[in-house]
Amino acid sequence: MKRVRIFLFILMTTAVSSAFAVSQPSIHFEVSFKEPQAHYVEITMKIENIQRDFIDVKMPVWTPGSYLVREYAKNVEGLVAFSGDHAPLATEKINKNTWRINSGKKSALTVQYRVYGFEVSVRTNFIDDSHAFLSPAGTFLYVDGFLELPVDVTILPYVSWSKISTGLDPVDGKPGTYHATDFDILFDSPIEVGNQDVFTFEAAGVLHEIAMVGGGNYDSDRLKKDCASIVEEATRIFGVNPNKRYVFIVHNYQSGGGGLEHLNSTVLGASRNGYQNERSYVGFLGLVAHEYFHLWHVKRLRPIELGPFDYDVENYTTSLWIMEGFTAYFDNLLLRRCGFLSENSYLQALGSDINTIENRAGNQVQSAASASFDAWIKYYRPDENSANTSISYYNKGALLALMLDLKILAATNGEKRLDDVLKAAYETFYVQQKRGFREQELQTLIEQIAGTSVSDIFDAAYTPGSLDYNRYLKAVGYEVIDYNEGRELPDLGITTSASDGRVLVTGVSRGTGAWDGGINVRDEIIAINGERLDANGKELNRVLQTAAIGDALQVLVARDGKIRELTITLTKDTRGSFGIIPLVNATPEQQRLGKIWIGGR
Ligand SMILES: [Zn+2]
């Protein structure tokens, strides 16, 4: 009796556990290409064991790292659904990015759809007869409420394509099949399919794969060596490199740039024939450094608002000045540490950020924190008035990072710097607490490391206006000077472009004569003081060079088919020309700290 009962018990547990295993929900995608020349990818989504009266499948409206609602669902067409026995299931679109499938509690269903992709960028699909780049948030539907499900993707390349490059884990024994532990991982793993040139290198104990799409005049040996230096230097900051494998997908265009960061991969845009030009090559390495740095800073160490993501709406954060700004500060610093930038070139790059911010009227209007919060409607949706109302949290954030780095260096006699903050923050928030940080917590951590308050710099992040660079730079033996100081030059206050032999206004700066006198963007400037302008701007420059502050100009413009004459009073050109130079009488201590700051290795 006893033995029988035990036997029954074992039988029951076995039955229960195997029934449980069978009923695990699962999702498998198949990706194929019937008409790549027409820019379509075909998707089959197999959903098992989600037994409901209906299920909603959704397409994200945005992709993390690029803070704009892109409405990926607009490219989806022909969505149909079937049950496991091939019976069609009724589907209905219930909002812009959601399809409701009346699945009638079926345990297996198949959803088929196609996605159009013809937008060249690092965060949108592009498919043609030569290759396909799939941005996963704009390709794969998810089942509402089931983002945490593991998912497999099988890619069937077009007949003339032979390679797949992605950070997704390949499934053993199933060529072309990849696994993601959940949909956050899937949405963070872009896929390149085609005939890309793939080469690998090892650095910081991680296997790195570079997939070159579109050809180019790159030297793969040099690229491997230089990228390896960047990997080693970046890893040195955080003390640990969390990946086993990392993939660079590089899109080479006639003229290209920009990048998007992911957990264990990145997508970079580059100019196909820019690799042999030293300036352009170092610019590319800067992009590599920037996106690589993000694998820690934003993909793992992150503000609390950025993950888990809501793929349905904007995800607001004030902290992009920390995530993008610090990254923009460290990308050039990494190039300096690797020896790709001389001290002079490094200072020039930093000076260029100062010029960009200080000469932009919007710097008096928008703070770095609000630029971050409003990235969705401002930074990613610029218009003709953006320069007057907004700034980039990249430039301003990089300059705030500079100030923090210098303040920590000065306060600790060169013992600590921003590197130490990031390493500690990564360890505390990502590794130990497994969560995002709040800005106040990061500030507290910085103050613990620096042994002094940094509220001056955090306050500056929330305040529009100029930054007091020299307060921080002097400690390391440098200063910002304005080469335009004392110059009395007139400024009309417009930017123009030449089109069809015409001079067209593209921008009007706040606080200038053009602003006060009513020149409009899109006005065609025909003549000034009775002199016909030529399209190349020479005549406009001549008029300005011979005029003085306070002069009144008669400006003849064409606006919407009508001629207007405007009187514009020239104001003083208030734009600076800023540069960072060594202090003339720097003390040995200032020089020592300066060497720690940017002395290179
Ligand atoms: Zn970035």
Instruction: Please tell me the distance between residue 269's alpha carbon and the centre of ligand 1 in angstroms.
Output: 13
Task: Round to whole Å and give the CA distance between 102 and 513.
Answer: 63
Closest by CA to 477, choosing from 398, 584, 401, 405, is 584
φ, ψ for residue 191, nearest 5 deg? -130, 130
Report the range of poorest mean pLDDT among 8-17, 225-234, 292-301, 402-411: 8-17
Task: Round to whole Å and give the CA distance between 516 and 528.
Answer: 17
In tens, the pLDDT along 157-187 reads: 999 999 999 999 999 999 999 999 999 999 9
Q: Which residues contact 568 (CB under 8 A, 6 or more apart)?
A: 492, 513, 514, 516, 517, 519, 552, 553, 555
56 membership: H or E segment, kind and range: strand 55-58
Residue keyed to tokens 């909603």: 56
CB 216 within 8 A of CB 252: yes
CB 238 within 8 A of CB 330: no
Specify the pLDDT at position 499: 84
In tens, the pLDDT along 392-447 reads: 999 999 999 999 999 999 999 999 999 999 999 999 999 999 999 999 999 999 99
Specify the pLDDT at position 6: 39
Please check the confidence at residue 11 and state whether its pLDDT lies above 60. Answer: no
Instruction: Please tell me the distance between residue 485's alpha carbon and the centre of ligand 1 in angstroms.
Output: 33
Return the HEC string of 202-270. EECCEEEEEEEECCCCCCHHHHHHHHHHHHHHHHHHHCCCCCCEEEEEEEEECCCCCEEECCCEEEEEE
Write b or e for each residue in 193-213: b if 16 or more Cβ atoms lie within 10 A of its Cβ, otherwise e.
bbebbbeebebbebebbbbbb
176: left (phi over 0), alpha (psi -120 to 50) or beta: left
Specify the pLDDT at position 82: 97
Instruction: Please tell me the distance between residue 261's alpha carbon and the centre of ligand 1 in angstroms.
Output: 7
In tens, the pLDDT along 442-472 reads: 999 999 999 999 999 999 999 999 999 999 9
Instruction: Please tell me the distance between residue 325's alpha carbon and the centre of ligand 1 in angstroms.
Output: 8
Helix (H, G, I), strand (E, B) or coil at 286: helix
Report the range of poorest mean pLDDT among 47-51, 114-118, 325-329, 535-539: 535-539
User: How much is the average pLDDT of 101-110?
Assistant: 96
Return the number of other C-beta atoms located less than 10 Å from residue 545's C-beta: 9
Return the number of other C-beta atoms located less than 10 Å from residue 115's C-beta: 24
Residue keyed to tokens 């995002």: 436
User: How much is the average pLDDT of 518-542?
Assistant: 90
CA 156, 160, 163, 164 torsion-angle sign? negative
CB 317 within 8 A of CB 372: yes
Instruction: Please tell me the distance between residue 294's alpha carbon and the centre of ligand 1 in angstroms.
Output: 7
Instruction: Please tell me the distance between residue 220's alpha carbon and the centre of ligand 1 in angstroms.
Output: 24
Q: Please calculate the CA angle 213-218-220 and round it to the nearest 5 degrees.
A: 90
CB 425 within 8 A of CB 437: yes
> Measuring CA to CA, how many Å separate 57 from each of 141, 161, 201?
6, 30, 40
Specify the pLDDT at position 500: 86
Task: Round to whole Å and give the CA distance between 99 and 203.
Answer: 45
Instruction: Please tell me the distance between residue 327's alpha carbon and the centre of ligand 1 in angstroms.
Output: 6
Instruction: Please tell me the distance between residue 291's alpha carbon and the centre of ligand 1 in angstroms.
Output: 6
Percent of the chain topping pLDDT 70 = 96
Closest by CA to 496, choosing from 466, 560, 462, 540, is 540
Interhelix angle for 220-238 vs 320-338, to 10°?
120
408 membership: H or E segment, kind and range: helix 393-411
Instruction: Please tell me the distance between residue 455's alpha carbon and the centre of ligand 1 in angstroms.
Output: 25
In tens, the pLDDT along 28-44 reads: 999 999 999 999 999 99
Helix (H, G, I), strand (E, B) or coil at 487: coil
Please check the confidence at residue 17 and state whether its pLDDT lies above 50. Answer: no
Instruction: Please tell me the distance between residue 536's alpha carbon and the centre of ligand 1 in angstroms.
Output: 36
In tens, the pLDDT along 283-306 reads: 999 999 999 999 999 999 999 999
Instruction: Please tell me the distance between residue 342's alpha carbon and the centre of ligand 1 in angstroms.
Output: 23
Specify the pLDDT at position 178: 98
Specify the pLDDT at position 212: 98
Specify the pLDDT at position 40: 98
DSSP string computed for 415-470:
S--HHHHHHHHIIIIIIIS-SPBPHHHHHHHHHHHHTS--HHHHHHHTS-S---HH
Task: Round to whole Å and give the CA distance between 194 and 315.
Answer: 33
Specify the pLDDT at position 540: 85
Task: Round to whole Å and give the CA distance between 472 and 445.
Answer: 20
Instruction: Please tell me the distance between residue 371's alpha carbon and the centre of ligand 1 in angstroms.
Output: 15
In tens, the pLDDT along 370-393 reads: 999 999 999 999 999 999 999 999
In tens, the pLDDT along 574-585 reads: 999 999 999 999
